Amino acid sequence: MPDRIALVIWVLGITADVCLIATSLIRGSFLKYFFLNLYVILAMSADLSRQFVLRTWGLNSVEYHYVYYYTDCLLTIALFVAVISLASRVFAELKLDKFVRITAVLLLLGTAGFSYGVVAQSTQRLSTSFTNELSQNLYFVGLVLTYLLWGAVLKLHETRTRLVQMVLALGLYFSAYAGSYALVNLASKYEAVLYLGPLLGCFLPISWSLTMLRHSEDSRLTPARLVAVQR
């Protein structure tokens, strides 16, 4: 990736992260959406540490590869936890939040075990392969979970505007990210495809910040309007 474009995207990402944290602090929602904010803080720390390692050891160094894959794996797990925190809020009224958390932990361990199993079958047991495999699988599980969560939001006639829009933003992000992973595999020769991932990384904090700015915690919407085709 040319240095200048990558740097512009990096600065945009950091700015978007800072914007979200500042917005949630100003709006008094930092603790209310703690896991979402935690994900953004971790994303910012990962961006900074990757940049430091990149400048010190270079793009093709072993150090950069390790830092990149391990932070990516950590971020995917943090995002997974953020999805679960939103799911707990949606299911809280049904008193199913504890069940959701236990299921999520089992799913996380299951995905980690599956990914390890896939990597362990290869002759070279590289830990970076394991983290890469785990990240990809968790993104896919995250997409499916968000899809199910959206189904629950519709079924339970959720009216909280912030919650609905945060789940939808997450769904858009996971779909776009999973698509970009696939596109990189299919058409990696096109350089533009390589910018997709870092660019999409900026979308989530921006959309969450806009949601927090536009709507208060009490803001409600008409649930019937959310169903694409009225019955």
Partner 1 sequence: MMAAFILAFSLLTLLMFFVSYCRSLTAASMHKALTEEVLDVTGIQAKASGRDFVRVMQLLQLCPDRHEDRSGLQIVGTYYSFLNLLDQSLAKLSPAVHTWAEEERAGCAHFAAVALGRRIALNREMLAQQVEL
Q: Note the residues at the interface with partner 1 (CB under 8 A).
A: 140, 143, 147, 150, 161, 164-165, 168-169, 171-172, 174-176, 178-179, 181-183, 185-186, 210, 213-215, 219, 221-222, 225-226, 228-229
Q: How far is the CB of 218 from partner 1 (least distance, A)?
A: 12
* 24 vs 47 by CB, closer to partner 1: 24
Q: How far is the CB of 197 from partner 1 (least distance, A)?
A: 13
Token reading at 107: 């799913």
Token reading at 99: 């069940």
One-letter amino acid of 76: T
* 81 vs 193 by CB, closer to partner 1: 193
Q: How far is the CB of 210 from partner 1 (least distance, A)?
A: 6
> Rounded to whole angstroms, how far apart are CA atoms 25 and 30?
5
CB contact set of 125 (below 8 Å; sequence gap of 6+)? 119
Q: How far is the CB of 139 from partner 1 (least distance, A)?
A: 9
* 26 vs 59 by CB, closer to partner 1: 26
- Cross-strand bridge partners of residue 85: none
Q: What is the largest CA-CA distance in the chain?
A: 59
* 172 vs 194 by CB, closer to partner 1: 172
* 113 vs 179 by CB, closer to partner 1: 179
Q: How far is the CB of 4 from partner 1 (least distance, A)?
A: 26
> Rounded to whole angstroms, how far apart are CA atoms 34 and 126?
34
Q: How far is the CB of 228 from partner 1 (least distance, A)?
A: 6
> Rounded to whole angstroms, how far apart are CA atoms 174 and 34?
20
CB 180 within 8 A of CB 197: yes
* 135 vs 165 by CB, closer to partner 1: 165
> Rounded to whole angstroms, how far apart are CA atoms 155 and 152?
5
The CA-atom distances, in angstroms, between 71 and each of 11, 17, 116 are 18, 16, 17
Closest Cα to residue 199, out of 225, 180, 227, 175? 180
